[in-house]
Amino acid sequence: MSTRSTARFVRYKVTSHPDGGLRTFVSCQSCSFVVLPTADIERATRAMSHHTATKGHAIFKRTTEDVAVVVLADTAEQERRAEVNRLEYRHLGGAAEDDAEHAQAGA
């Protein structure tokens, strides 16, 4: 009995989600000073500089996070799947419902 997989190899790529935003969290390594998670990276940078100027603490742990999204790397595969979704949508009556909604909106 063969155990060889017949599944096609599909390549994905991981990127930052465009609506995810970038956030940073900062904590001083010499005291309890923190900059709570914020999307304002410049503000966090200014707060670190100010803390160093006033307290002399120069080492910070800085964590930056974003929201990642995994997408198909192969555009031909993306288009193939989009077409399959369109066909299923029509098969399930989605296009007919859309037409009915448009007719109502126009009435």
Q: Provide the binding-site residues for Zn ion, judged by CB under 5 A.
A: 28, 30-31, 33, 55, 57
Name the residue among 58, 60, 76, 68 with its Cα closest to residue 24: 60
Name the residue among 9, 71, 59 with its Cα closest to residue 31: 59
- Alpha-helical segments (H) within the chain: 41-55, 75-91, 94-106
Taking the complex as a whole, the smallest distance from the CB of residue 40 to Zn ion amounts, in Å, to 20
User: Which CB atom, from 3 or from 54, has the smaller least distance to Zn ion?
Assistant: 54
Taking the complex as a whole, the smallest distance from the CB of residue 25 to Zn ion amounts, in Å, to 15
User: Which CB atom, from 28 or from 47, has the smaller least distance to Zn ion?
Assistant: 28
User: Which CB atom, from 30 or from 85, has the smaller least distance to Zn ion?
Assistant: 30
Whose tokens are 């399930």? That residue is: 92
Taking the complex as a whole, the smallest distance from the CB of residue 74 to Zn ion amounts, in Å, to 49
The phi, psi pair for 31, rounded to 5°, reads -150, -165
User: Which CB atom, from 16 or from 30, has the smaller least distance to Zn ion?
Assistant: 30
